[in-house]
Amino acid sequence: MKKKDDAETLEKLVKLTKLINADKVKVEPVPPGRGPNKWRSKDPKFAPKADRRSDLVEAGGMQVDPSLKDAYDQWRQDKITEQNERREMAARRAEAKRKARADANML
């Protein structure tokens, strides 16, 4: 009887092993997950947003104090002018390089 029980348990064990291998089941325990960030509060407290002033005006693409409106508008115009000058200069350089390449190919 003992041999019969041993044979049955061995058969069951082999069958289970084949099933586990067929399903690719992992037997080892799952490693612990990533721990919490000790520097982050579980209940964060945010500062209340400041109320917007009603006397702000649009200047230079921003909301500014009315007394500084002219300065910001002038600053914005200067930036636009500088950007246009840089674009023109880059276009001139590209044209000069294109001409130089064309001249080098002709020789």
Instruction: Give me the mean pLDDT over the 76-96 stretch.
Output: 96
Establish if 59 belongs to a structural domain.
Answer: yes
Report yes or no on whether pTM surpasses 0.85. Answer: no
Establish if 27 belongs to a structural domain.
Answer: no
Report whether pLDDT(56) > 80: yes
Total domain count, the chain: 1
Establish if 49 belongs to a structural domain.
Answer: no
Quick: pLDDT tens for 7-27.
Answer: 888 888 888 888 777 777 666
Q: What is the DSSP string of 51-88?
A: PPPTT-EEETTEEE-GGGHHHHHHHHHHHHHHHHHHHH
- pLDDT for the residue 3: 67
Query: Domain range spanning residue 83?
Result: 54-107
Residue 65 sits at φ, ψ, to 5 deg, of: -65, 140
Establish if 107 belongs to a structural domain.
Answer: yes
Instruction: Give me the mean pLDDT over the 41-58 stretch.
Output: 85
Establish if 30 belongs to a structural domain.
Answer: no
